[in-house]
Amino acid sequence: MVSRVLVTGSSDGLGRISARQLLEEGHEVFLHARSPARAREALAAAPGARGVLVGDLASLADTRSLAEQARAAGPLDAVIHNAGLGYRDGRVETADGLSRLFAVNVLAPYLLTALAPAPRLVYLTSGMHRGGDPDLSDLQWLRRPWNGSQAYSDSKLLDVILAFAVARRWSAVRSNAVEPGWVPTRMGGPSAPDDLEAGGRTQAWLAVSDDPAAAVTGRCFFHQRQRPAHPAASDPSVQDGLLLACEALTGVALPRVPDLR
């Protein structure tokens, strides 16, 4: 069966790898890039894609536009929320007054999920999420001295919390998180020891596979095997707290029932 899949952040790295793997399997793939120039790079690197949706995930307006483009593209079977920022830069504030790291890694997947859901949702996390802090009181790092590594770990924990919250709220949707490993992407660096192709395979598998092992929800995976997540990710009070925080920042609530048309 051919699936229609959107892969965010697919102009390079793991997103590009996952998109290529899906294309090789005969699926219809929509790429995503933050600018027209990056869109051209994405199409050149993944020939056969149905198109490229353009929007900077650091911008709430662009993310809303991206959701509209996804809806206009027709029903999607899966969205792989792959796009993300690393932790080497200092705290950068977006035009919306948000931490850019939080805006791209957490708020954009939330907003896209709320506005453009799909029957299968995959959220990219990291093994570093286990060092994340589930305290939601200072998501923008306004009261604490900036610590890039900790802010990144926190954001990756919040991605798992989001995935599990969606799984709990939406019984008709399969929502899971994936640790790709430490792979040699622009973020991971050239000396990263894990395999890049293997790093992209699990998210593609969860997005389209009929394998019973992929027919689950509210789980964390590494290389197509379930792996325990940070305990806070399964706490309904933490999940609901994150959803409320994201709703307050975006003005968009996660619907009680997803519109999968």
Instruction: Say if 104 falls within a structural domain.
Output: yes
Instruction: Say if 30 falls within a structural domain.
Output: yes
Counted domains in the chain? 1
Mean local confidence (pLDDT), 15-44: 95
Comparing 118-127, 179-188, 216-225, which segment has the lowest mean pLDDT?
A: 179-188
Per-residue pLDDT of 58-99, as tens digits, reads 999 999 999 999 999 989 999 999 999 998 889 999 999 999
pLDDT band at residue 216, thresholds of 50, 70 and 90?
Answer: very high
Instruction: Say if 258 falls within a structural domain.
Output: no
- Residue type (1 letter), 11: S
Instruction: Say if 255 falls within a structural domain.
Output: no
State yes or no: pLDDT of 207 exceeds 50. Answer: yes
Mean local confidence (pLDDT), 136-163: 97
Instruction: Say if 259 falls within a structural domain.
Output: no
Question: Token pair of 121, please?
Answer: 């949702």
State yes or no: pLDDT of 122 exceeds 90. Answer: yes
Instruction: Give this prediction's pTM.
Output: 0.95
CATH assignment of the domain containing 198: 3.40.50.720
Query: Domain limits at 83?
Result: 4-250
Instruction: Say if 118 falls within a structural domain.
Output: yes
pLDDT band at residue 261, thresholds of 50, 70 and 90?
Answer: confident
Share of the chain above pLDDT 70, in %: 94
Choose, from 87, 110, 123, 156, the residue flagged as catalytic. Answer: 156
156 is catalytic: yes
How confident is the model at residue 15, as a pLDDT? Answer: 93
For the chain, the average pLDDT equals 93
Instruction: Say if 166 falls within a structural domain.
Output: yes
152 is catalytic: yes
CB 82 within 8 A of CB 21: no
